[in-house]
Chain A
Amino acid sequence: MLITFLLIPILTAIVLLFIKKDTLAFQTAIAASLATLALAVFASFNKVETFDMSWLPNLNSRFTLQADGLAKILILLSSISLPAILMASNKNEYKQKNIFLSLLLFTQAGLMGVFLAGDALLFYFFWELALIPVYFLCSIWGGEKRIAITFKFFIYTFLGSLFMLIGILFVNAHTVEHSFSIQAFIQANLTDGQKITAFALFFVAFAIKMPIFPLHTWQPDTYEQSPTPVTMVMSAVMVKMGLYGILRWLLPLFPVAFAAHTNVVVFLSVVGILYASFIAIRQDDIKRLIAYSSIAHIGLMNAAIFSGTGIAIQGALIQLFSHGINVLGLWIIADIVEQQTGTRSMQQMGGLAKKQPTLAILLVGFALANIAMPLTNAFVGEFLMFNGLFILNPWIAGFAGISIVLAAIYTLNMVQKVAYGEISEKINAMPAPNKAAQLVLIILLIIVFVTGVYPQPLFTLTADTLQQLIAK
């Protein structure tokens, strides 16, 4: 069962390379992504068998795929994201669209692999494989400065993952029978000093991927220059790889070293949250605004995880999903506006509510979710996370709490500039609304409110992971 999460995207991606007709390519891609979604929904509510196969006998590495609540919730998120992204950006013109779609599906396969891998070497494998298609996507279809910026992004994350590779090699050398399985890694025979070294090696990779201040410099540029569908994949799903890595590997493997670094990491995260929020306030480019807002949100999740309190981790587990949905909604709106007006500068927008009322309402909906208003899904997660941070240290919770105010400032400011005021020239020239994209947005917004009012399914889904993590 779990192997199909890899097979469907990979096989479709290969087939897509040979489909030259745009519409047919799109239909194939959407069919495959919907099939994956159906599987993901099924897997979320059922128990799934671990997939295990011999892979590298000399190295004692096995092709193991396994899914617990943490994996399932992220699988679900990435399966929801891909069809949404495809539907919403179908109107966009891309040269060689079949290759574009094919690379997107390869990315999805890589992400699925990362979330499902139960073997460290396999994890590393997919970790890199998710990066390569993105490198090509951004460099071929991105904005003006794409080549240099994407390259910076690539080298940055590649270097980070190489450190993780050393970490894997290091821990592997100390396991029984040199196994790579996650259980063997947890039982690895390391001294406390060695654990701290290994912790640092793993942490660098995850910190760059998330990113945590001060390793975040690649992100805003990359988000701005990438074609928006790719930005959506990156900010809705890919940044979760870093958080996932921490929850799956770092915390269970080195609980002591983890606890020892709580203060440093939480401090960095809080600095990052405030820093990103202040910068977001100053942004005029709508894509950059969302990018910085995303850094702030991810920083909060990271701080919550590192606080080590059960309630905060529960919040982060839910927020992994919710943040993905919310940011996806914002990106889709930003993309529609950019495609239809040809600008990303918010000064040149205004009056969207009069021209396209539906879109403006949707924008307000996602904006409220972005600032974690009650009734929206983000409220549930953020409330729990702040709760946990408060238990850790009220001061930290207080400082991090400023970000809520700041988020309200920049988000509502954005809504005001885009939706209200006089109808600007560019907004006035907007063509008829993009029905397909609006439908996607409505569905996402429904998810936002349903999981905001009734988050119990998400709690149930992540219960097993939480139990294991707290046991540490």
Chain B
Amino acid sequence: MNAIIVSTLLGVIMMFCSWGIKIQKTQQSIALVGLFVLILSNLAQLNGWYVINFDTKGMLAFTRFGLYINSLFFIITFIYIWLNGEEIAKFNNQAADFYALFFFILCGASILTSFDNLLMLFIGIEILSIPLYILTGADKKNLFSNEAALKYFLMGSFSTGILLLGITFIYGATGSFHLVEPVLKPSTGLPAEQMILSAGLLLVFAAMNFKVSAAPFHFWTPDVYDGAPTVFTSFMATIVKAAGFIAFITIFNSQSKALGYSWALVLSFVIVSTLLVGNIVAVFQRSVKRMLAYSSIAQAGFMLFALYGKSSFAQEGIVLYAVVYSLATIGVFGVLIKMKENSFEAFNGLAKTNPLLAFVTTIFLFSLAGIPLTGGFFAKYYMLNALYAAGAGLWLIIIAILFAAISVFYYFKLVQAMYFFTGKPAMHEVPKKYTYALLLIAILLLILGVFPSLVFNYLYF
């Protein structure tokens, strides 16, 4: 509750901020302070203190899990804005507008971590998405950015329509928007109603797949990620995606039972096709940014494992995965922002000219690939464990592992470029402070690579 209210207020404050304050640094500082307040208010709710408290009639349910995830989102956003402040300001003198949009996105994310009603899901998704359409088109004079924004907007609206249709079907069959356990049941028990309910759930499933860019609903992802300004792609691919996943899991952890046996089949199909598309296509990319777009599809495939069934591994795993993946992705994009070109060749010889930067990039890539000693390894391990604990066949795990090995191929292509090929990378100026900030993220990933439980211990106490 606190997070939703405070983030909205902060969004409004940031919007008006641009009237009085013209200095970019100050705007960034205000945003950071705002985020800090947001984190505090959210933690306050964990301890039972409310800004305003009223009965939501079961529309929202605040669980420890949801609130904790909120805090993680806010902390990652804090790191993101702290790192990328200058870059954000490049597209507009009024960076404060963008910060306002970030706060609205966070408001949407907070709803997605705590909804208990399909209408709130819809509202949360909309609040999350609309600022994203604007951010995608932030580079107003760049045609690709415009194209990406339009594409995203059209396809996004379409998928929201499908979501709404699904919700309508569910309402029609059950007479309720509520997601309470036990599972949704047709109100009269007629077979036709059961079918409508299943159809509704499948439509919601499709729409959610679109939001988290799982195949075969992924087609917007590469174009949008590639067209959007890199700094915003970084945000889109991390926190927004993770929030989508949390919502996805909240719905289907309980409601998947209504689909019965076919659920495992449908989900396995989506998982395998997502892994297939993401990994195979990423191998052939020549632009690092596009490779990362496809890799983000591939990573979504791994996160989908958490949907397979409810277990402590799934719950802990998705938290760990979201954090680790977000940090690593923000890091890689942070390096990419400083390159003048996006091709793999542009990274040639980075280890010579800037060893520290090359080192941190390597850590990020290792983490994405799931190499031990980085957080990515345990994230993947938990996901595989979740899959097995939920009773998936060994074949699915083996397929996942094969694709994980393929992913090493394209991540290491970048490592090879940096360390083993010679060249002079064309770069924007990289301040020392910036490199150290990236180093801090890398160190966080290494710590999580040895003690992953640091992230999810607070889920319980």
Stretch at the interface among A26-34, A123-131, A456-464: A123-131
Question: A136-155 interface mask toward B, CB cutoff 8 Å, 1 = contact, 0 = none?
Answer: 10011000001100010011
Q: Which of B59-117 contact A (CB under 8 A)?
A: none
Bound Cα distance A57, B460 (Å): 14
Contact of A124 with B372 at beta-carbon distance under 8 Å, contacts A159-B405, A165-B401 already known: yes
Whether A128 lies near B388 (C-beta < 8 A) is no
Bound Cα distance A132, B359 (Å): 14
A189 within 8 A of B: no
A197 within 8 A of B: yes
Contact of A173 with B371 at beta-carbon distance under 8 Å, contacts A57-B453, A155-B408 already known: no
B interface, over-half SS: helix
Number of contacts between A and B (CB, 8 Å)?
A: 64
- CB-CB under 8 A from A165, the residues of chain B are 381, 384, 401
Whether A140 lies near B420 (C-beta < 8 A) is yes
Q: Which of A1-40 contact B (CB under 8 A)?
A: none
- CB-CB under 8 A from B398, the residues of chain A are 163, 166
A43 within 8 A of B: no
> How far, in Å, is A87 (CB) from chain B's closest CB?
28
A58 within 8 A of B: yes
Bound Cα distance A166, B380 (Å): 11
B409 within 8 A of A: yes
Partner of A132, one of B371, B401, B419: B371
Q: Name which residue of chain B comes closest to A168, CB basis.
A: B381
Bound Cα distance A136, B384 (Å): 28
A interface, over-half SS: helix
- CB-CB under 8 A from B419, the residues of chain A are 136, 139-140
Bound Cα distance A151, B419 (Å): 13
A278 within 8 A of B: no
A396 within 8 A of B: no
Contact of A147 with B405 at beta-carbon distance under 8 Å, contacts A129-B373, A170-B388 already known: no
Partner of B397, one of A56, A139, A154, A166: A166
Whether A166 lies near B401 (C-beta < 8 A) is yes
Question: B358-401 interface mask toward A, CB cutoff 8 Å, 1 = contact, 0 = none?
Answer: 00000000000001110000000100110011000010011001
- CB-CB under 8 A from A139, the residues of chain B are 416, 419-420
Partner of A173, one of B389, B412, B421: B389
A466 within 8 A of B: no
Bound Cα distance A124, B371 (Å): 11
> How far, in Å, is B259 (CB) from chain A's closest CB?
25
A169 within 8 A of B: yes
Q: Name which residue of chain A comes closest to B413, CB basis.
A: A151
Bound Cα distance A125, B451 (Å): 13
Bound Cα distance A234, B405 (Å): 22
Partner of A151, one of B385, B401, B412, B421: B412
Bound Cα distance A162, B394 (Å): 13
Number of interface residues of B (CB under 8 A): 28
- CB-CB under 8 A from B401, the residues of chain A are 159, 162-163, 165-166
> How far, in Å, is B42 (CB) from chain A's closest CB?
24
Bound Cα distance A145, B242 (Å): 41
Contact of A169 with B381 at beta-carbon distance under 8 Å, contacts A128-B371, A154-B412 already known: yes
Contact of A170 with B420 at beta-carbon distance under 8 Å, contacts A155-B409, A163-B401 already known: no
> How far, in Å, is B402 (CB) from chain A's closest CB?
8
Bound Cα distance A124, B381 (Å): 12
> How far, in Å, is B244 (CB) from chain A's closest CB?
26
Q: Which of B315-374 contact A (CB under 8 A)?
A: 316, 371-373
B404 within 8 A of A: yes
Q: Which of A129, A155, A158 has the most CB of B within 10 A?
A: A158
Q: Name which residue of chain A comes closest to B457, CB basis.
A: A58
> How far, in Å, is A162 (CB) from chain B's closest CB?
5
Q: Name which residue of chain B comes closest to A197, CB basis.
A: B394
- CB-CB under 8 A from B404, the residues of chain A are 162
B452 within 8 A of A: yes
- CB-CB under 8 A from B409, the residues of chain A are 155
> How far, in Å, is B119 (CB) from chain A's closest CB?
36
Q: Which of A88-127 contact B (CB under 8 A)?
A: 124-125
- CB-CB under 8 A from A158, the residues of chain B are 405, 408
- CB-CB under 8 A from B388, the residues of chain A are 169-170, 173
- CB-CB under 8 A from A162, the residues of chain B are 401, 404-405
- CB-CB under 8 A from A154, the residues of chain B are 408, 412
Q: Which of B402, B420, B451 has the most CB of A within 10 A?
A: B420
Bound Cα distance A129, B452 (Å): 17
Bound Cα distance A257, B401 (Å): 24
Q: Which of A58, A128, A146, A170 has the most CB of B within 10 A?
A: A58
Bound Cα distance A159, B371 (Å): 12
- CB-CB under 8 A from A166, the residues of chain B are 384, 394, 397-398, 401
Bound Cα distance A139, B372 (Å): 20
Whether A56 lies near B372 (C-beta < 8 A) is no
Contact of A169 with B397 at beta-carbon distance under 8 Å, contacts A147-B420, A151-B416 already known: yes
Q: Name which residue of chain A comes closest to B387, CB basis.
A: A169
- CB-CB under 8 A from B381, the residues of chain A are 165, 169
Whether B453 lies near A56 (C-beta < 8 A) is yes
- CB-CB under 8 A from A163, the residues of chain B are 398, 401
Bound Cα distance A169, B381 (Å): 8
Partner of A170, one of B373, B394, B412, B451: B394
> How far, in Å, is B439 (CB) from chain A's closest CB?
14
Bound Cα distance A128, B371 (Å): 8
- CB-CB under 8 A from A128, the residues of chain B are 371-373
Q: Which of B445-461 contact A (CB under 8 A)?
A: 451-453, 456-457
Bound Cα distance A129, B372 (Å): 7
> How far, in Å, is B404 (CB) from chain A's closest CB?
6
Bound Cα distance A56, B402 (Å): 26
- CB-CB under 8 A from B416, the residues of chain A are 139, 147, 151
> How far, in Å, is B260 (CB) from chain A's closest CB?
25
Q: Which of B194-249 contact A (CB under 8 A)?
A: none
> How far, in Å, is A7 (CB) from chain B's closest CB?
15
> How far, in Å, is B357 (CB) from chain A's closest CB?
16
- CB-CB under 8 A from A125, the residues of chain B are 372-373
Q: Name which residue of chain A comes closest to B380, CB basis.
A: A165
Bound Cα distance A169, B382 (Å): 10
- CB-CB under 8 A from A173, the residues of chain B are 385, 388-389
- CB-CB under 8 A from A170, the residues of chain B are 388, 394
- CB-CB under 8 A from A124, the residues of chain B are 372
Q: Which of B425-459 contact A (CB under 8 A)?
A: 451-453, 456-457
Bound Cα distance A461, B306 (Å): 48
Q: Name which residue of chain B comes closest to A172, CB basis.
A: B385
> How far, in Å, is B386 (CB) from chain A's closest CB?
11
Q: Name which residue of chain B comes closest to A138, CB basis.
A: B420
8 residue pairs from A and B, CB less than 8 Å apart: A129-B373, A136-B419, A146-B420, A147-B421, A162-B404, A163-B398, A169-B397, A173-B389
List of 6 A-B pairs having minimum Cβ-Cβ separation, nearest first: A159-B405, A128-B372, A162-B401, A58-B453, A125-B372, A139-B420
Given A129-B373, A159-B405, A173-B385; 5 other pairs, CB 8 A cutoff: A128-B371, A139-B420, A159-B402, A166-B401, A173-B388
User: Residues of B with Cβ closer than 8 Å to A?
Assistant: 316, 371-373, 381, 384-385, 388-389, 394, 397-398, 401-402, 404-405, 408-409, 412, 416, 419-421, 451-453, 456-457
